[in-house]
Amino acid sequence: MRKEEIVEFATGLKRTYHTSDPYELAKIFGIRVEENIPCMKWFKAQAVKFKGYAPYIVINRDYDERSRKIMCAHELGHIFLHDDTLNNFANVGGKINMEAEYEANLFVLALFEDQENLNMNMADIPSYLVHSIIEKSVERK
């Protein structure tokens, strides 16, 4: 999906459903979000989507509320933007799929921020900067 399409998709979700809350959007689309299970310290979040089954998101409860919301939006981005079968640890053959991660991060940015508040086109923000914005916004409790 092109960058502009991702921004428009996230903006369209906000406009259509009158919310940028990823938990509300997940509920609207029948996506279960689980936060109350113990997780390894290295684990942040994961989207799981298999053909024929409802997708779900698992988020490490050891992160603060704002961080969990960002991670939920990121995983929602993977569910909405990527193929029918997704078990997203962002690791394919030992390599991180940087394009998929960038797209999910751009989705987060577009979901939480309005284009009019920025001095540049959101789709023109370099991938390393989008990644940095999202990663630096996620903190453990």
Cβ 77 vs Cβ 99: under 8 Å = no
Q: Which of 133, 128, 120, 1 is nearest to 73 (CA)?
A: 133
Cβ 109 vs Cβ 125: under 8 Å = yes
Neighbour-count burial for 47-59, b at 16+ CB within 10 Å, e otherwise: bbbeeeeebbbbb
- Give the pLDDT score at 140: 81
pLDDT tens per residue across span 50-87: 888 899 999 999 999 999 999 999 999 999 998 765 55
Stretches in the chain below the pLDDT threshold 50: 88-95
- In the structure encoding, which two tokens stand for residue 32, read together? 């279960």
Q: Which of 76, 82, 108, 80 is nearest to 97 (CA)?
A: 82
- Give the pLDDT score at 104: 95
Q: Which residues pair with 34 in a beta bridge?
A: 58
- Give the pLDDT score at 86: 59
Q: Which pTM does this prediction carry? A: 0.88
Structural domains in the chain, sorted by start: 3-135 (1.10.10.2910)
Q: What number of other Cβ atoms are within 10 A of residue 35's Cβ?
A: 18
- Give the pLDDT score at 90: 47
